[in-house]
Structure 1
Amino acid sequence: MAFIGRRDDLELLEDCFREKRAQLVFVYGRRRVGKTETLTQFAKGKDTLFFAAQNATKEDQLASFSRLMFDAGAPGREYLSQYPTWEAALSELARLPEPSDGGRRLVIFDEFPYLAKSDPSLPSVLQNLWDHTLRHANLMIVICGSSMSFIEKELLSEKSPLYGRATGILKMTPLPYWDAVKFFPDYSVEDKALAYAILGGVPRYLEEFDPEESLEANIKRRILRRIAPLYSEVEFLLHEELRETAKYNSIIRAIALGGTSLNEIATHTMMPGATVAAYLSNLMELGIVEREFPASAKIKEHAKGARGLYRLIDNFFRFWYMFVFPYRSELERGDVNDVYERCVRPTLHDFAGLPFEGMCREWMWRESINGRLPFRARTVGRWWDRTREIDVMAVADSGDRAIVGECKFRNTPMDVPMLNLLRDRAAHIGVPDRQYYLFSLGGFTKPLIDAASAEQSDVRLLDLDDLFAVGQRA
């Protein structure tokens, strides 16, 4: 399959590569998000030293890196079998032969945390060499890693020897929906949206589905069968990144079932609120959970956390905890068809409602960035109070203009009463100048279309074709 997406990430890396001074760039993000594939794409056409670190001893790592260096023409291969230390090895980067095209050499350390784990002095060694030698060389060095907490706390924080040395920091996130659905070019727009609702924007998950098979067949074969990699993916990732996975299972399951406040999650899990908050913090670091605030909330409300709610931002985790985790006994016995027919099929569209709202908010951001909204949005999110909720809300920088939206992933068309209900809710947001956007899978009734088509209407109607068009023209 051809490489998909990451245009913005690749452009940022290319900008660094074109800089005149030496570059030390950190690229990190959660596992499976596509860092290695993106760096491989970036390295095409460049003189590149690409070292993929393994979870091995210091000696084994040095031996592998030494072979790579000697193959690249580093001096010393005639009398050395390998470098004795990382300091000796890394200092030779500046002595590698100049690229044949007269350009810059690219050096990539993939999964750098494995190297630092085998030799904790390595960040200090690299810092010393960068300060005295490597920053004057014709190099771009990329430090890549999946352990986000390690990168942020051990390499980029103030206590790290490498603090302040980075010339670029790129945190890679899952693909936006308009790129994710390119993995399924022949699916209907409805099935594309459902596939995104199930898998999210993590490339490794998207690659598991066969685009030539139906959505139903893929769910059964690629997720619900116990031999499928996605069947055990969630547990594998949690075991890799976290301890006490049983407690994390309980917390994620509570959120997947609709527990959004700290009190609701604590009640469901029967754990103290302070304990739950600590676990939630770790899940947020991994990009699995997010804390959100009403789109109109002031900064002081974010600081106090007074109205914050928790939600799963990883679509696949949400699907897994809804449809795999509770039915493990049946699935372990191979009862895939019954679980699908009884549990998945009847509720799949309802399940996709929240991811569809997320798609609409992503669309709103993209349209704002590209100047296709009535104003440049300062924030895009949800809005709620004690009794009302609005699915999508974009607020102008001035604070006196807003777009409010309702999202329905249903096969029945939206009607005028939905618009009236949205107007009633929006009357309480405290923003005087409002416009109304309605997003619908099933289209719109003629009376609603007529209302939106009226002269000086403040209503806009959008379907899935409109949402997917943003990826084609942006």
Structure 2
Amino acid sequence: MTFIGRVDDLEQLNDCYKARRAQLVFVYGRRRVGKTATLVRFSQDKETIFFAAQNATKEEQLASFSRLMFEAGAPGKDYLSQYPSWERALSELVKLPEPADGSRRLVVFDEFPYLVKSDPSLPSVLQNLWDHTLRDANLMIVICGSAMSFMEKELLAEKSPLYGRATGVLRINPMPYWDAVRFLPDYSAEDKALAYAILGGIPRYLEEFDPDMSVAENVKRHILRRIAPLYSEVEFLLHEELRETAKYNSVIRAIALGATSLNEIATHTMMPGATVSSYLGNLMELGIVEREFPVTAKLKELAKGTRGLYQLSDNFFRFWYAFVFPYRSELERGDVDGVYERHIEPVLHDFAGKPFEGICREWLWRESIAGRLPFRARAVGRWWDRKDEIDVMAVDATGSKSIVGECKFRNTAMDGGVLNLLRARAARTGIEPQLSVLFSLGGFDRGLSDMAAAEPSSLRLVGIDDLFREVNTR
């Protein structure tokens, strides 16, 4: 399968590889996000020991790693069947033969938390060897893991033996929409937006869709059928990462149904607020839930968190809890067509409205980075108060300049009334917008088009094709 995207991630890893001194790089991210595929791609043209750890005993792990070391020419192969300890195994890294081309040897430990689970002393062993020998070797060591809270709290935190040793820390995030939809190159722009609204930027999910099938066919075949991996993906992932999955289901379901404040979620789930807060924290660490603040919020507001709203940051989780979880009885009996035709097809465009707003915000970020906006954005997000909401808003570093936008994922042309409403809402923010941007699936009426032609510096119209115009040229 063709490797897609991750240009910036690969560039940063290669910069580390080319650095003069030894490298100890930590790579992490949620499950299915594409860490292993990215590291495999990165290691393609390099002398590499790529150790994919399993959930196994210390002895089994050492046996597997020993085989890789011996195949790479480690001197222990002449008198050992396997290394007796991780200290002995890792100390032999400096004795490996130098690559023939004089380059640096790359050592990748994929799913490193499994190794620590089988031998909790491993971080201390690695820290001691790094301090005394490995940091002076011609090596790049990559520590990779999916257990995000473990990577952040146990390996990178101040209490960890490896604290301060990292020469690089790279979090692999879900793909931006313009890379994600390259998995479906022949889809129309509208169908690309729908597919992204359903699957998000997780490569493992995107790979499940057949690019030769329609959105409807893919949903029915690859999500709604009991045999499909995506049908049970959410439950598998929660069981892998969390205990008390029934309670987490309740929390996620509440958010999917529109409960966004802590009080609303606690009321919906009938759980104490402190308990819900703890569950939400774990879900945020997994990249499933995010806490959103108005883009104009000051540091004091962020610290208090009084205006923060909880959202599902993962599009596929949002789709699954909206359309699979509630209709499991019908789907278990094979009524795939009925569930799609009755419950999904009539509201799919409405469902895609929120992810479409996310696409528009990502587009605005890209325009800012490319220097195609009146200023460089410090933040891009939503704005709201008790009465109004703005779908897309960017602010500069001073907080005195803004760009505001409205998004409509409907097959009807947008008219001037939308612009008037947007500008009225913008006035409530207290920041005079330098540019208004309208995003529309159904295009724009003649009045708006004429207005944009007359006011190019203050009004910009972005149709669905404009959002995807650069996708296949990146």
Mapping for residues 59-70 of structure 1, pairs under 5 Å: 59-70=59-70
Structure 1 residue matching 2:75: 3-state secondary structure: coil
3-state SS in 2 of match to 1:76? helix
**Unmatched tracts of structure 1, length 5 or more:** none
Q: How does 1:66-465 map to 2 (within 5 A)?
A: 66-455=66-455, 458-465=458-465
| Alpha-carbon separation, structure 1, partners of 2:271 and 2:433 | 44
Q: Please, what TM-score do these two structures have when normalized by structure 1? A: 0.99
Partners of 1:14 and 1:185 in 2: CA distance: 28
Q: Letter of the 2:129 partner, please give it.
A: L
Deviations 1:448-468 (A, max 9, x none): 111111146511100122111
Report the more deviating stretch, 446-455 or 207-216: 446-455
Residue deviations 1:299-352 (CA, integer Å, cap 9, x gap): 100000010001011000000000000000000000000000000000000000
Deviation at 1:432, TM superposition (A): 2.4
Structure 2 counterpart SS, 1:151: helix
The separation in 2 between residues aligned to 1:326 and 1:433, in whole angstroms, is: 42
What is the match of residue 35 of structure 1?
35
Q: Counterparts of 1:426 and 1:432 in 2: how far apart (Å)?
A: 7
C-alpha separation in 2, matches of 1:98 and 1:64: 22
Is the Cα contact below 8 Å between 1:451 and 1:457 reproduced in 2?
no
1:334-377 CA distance string (max 9 Å, x none)? 00000000000000000000000000111111111121111001
The 1:455–1:339 alpha-carbon spacing in structure 2 relative to 1, beyond 3 Å, is closer
For residues 455 and 176 of structure 1, the distance between their equivalents in structure 2, rounded to whole angstroms, comes to 30
- Measure how far apart 1:274 and its partner are: 1.4
Distance in 1 (alpha carbons) for counterparts of 2:433 and 2:197? 32
Contact in 2 for aligned 1:177/1:200 (Cα 8 Å): yes
| SS across alignment from 1:170 | strand
SS in 2 for 1:301: helix
**2:301 and 2:307 in contact (8 A); partners too:** yes
Q: Could you state the TM-score of these two structures normalised by the residue count of structure 2?
A: 0.99
Q: Distance in 1 between matches of 2:358 and 2:114?
A: 35
Q: Distance in 2 between matches of 1:43 and 1:465?
A: 36
**Contact 1:363–1:470, Cα closer than 8 Å, also in 2:** no
Query: Is residue 25 of structure 1 aligned with residue 51 of structure 2?
Result: no
**How many percent identity over aligned positions?**
76
The CA distance in 2 between the partners of 1:249 and 1:54, in whole Å, is 27
Q: Secondary structure at the match of 2:410?
A: coil
Q: Could you list the per-position Cα deviations for residues 18-57 of structure 1 after superposition, in whole angstroms to 9, with x for gaps in the alignment?
A: 0010000000000000000000000011000000101000
SS at match of 1:100: coil
Local SS of the residue matching 1:115: helix
Q: Residues of 2 paired with 1:473 and 1:330: CA distance?
A: 43
The 3-state SS of whatever aligns with 1:99 is coil
CA shift, 1:214, in A, is 1.1
Q: Aligned partners of 1:410 and 1:366: how far apart in 2?
A: 23
Give the CA deviation at 1:472: 5.1
CA contact (8 A) 2:413 2:442 kept: yes
* SS in structure 1 at match of 2:78: coil
- Residue 60 of structure 1 deviates from its aligned partner by 0.4
Matched to 1:102, the amino acid is G
Contact 1:323 1:343 in 2 (8 A): yes
- Aligned-partner Cα distance in 2 for 1:72–1:99: 10
RMSD, aligned α-carbons: 1.0
Moved over 3 A (4+): 470-474
Contact 2:403 2:437 in 1 (8 A): yes
Amino acid at match of 1:357: E
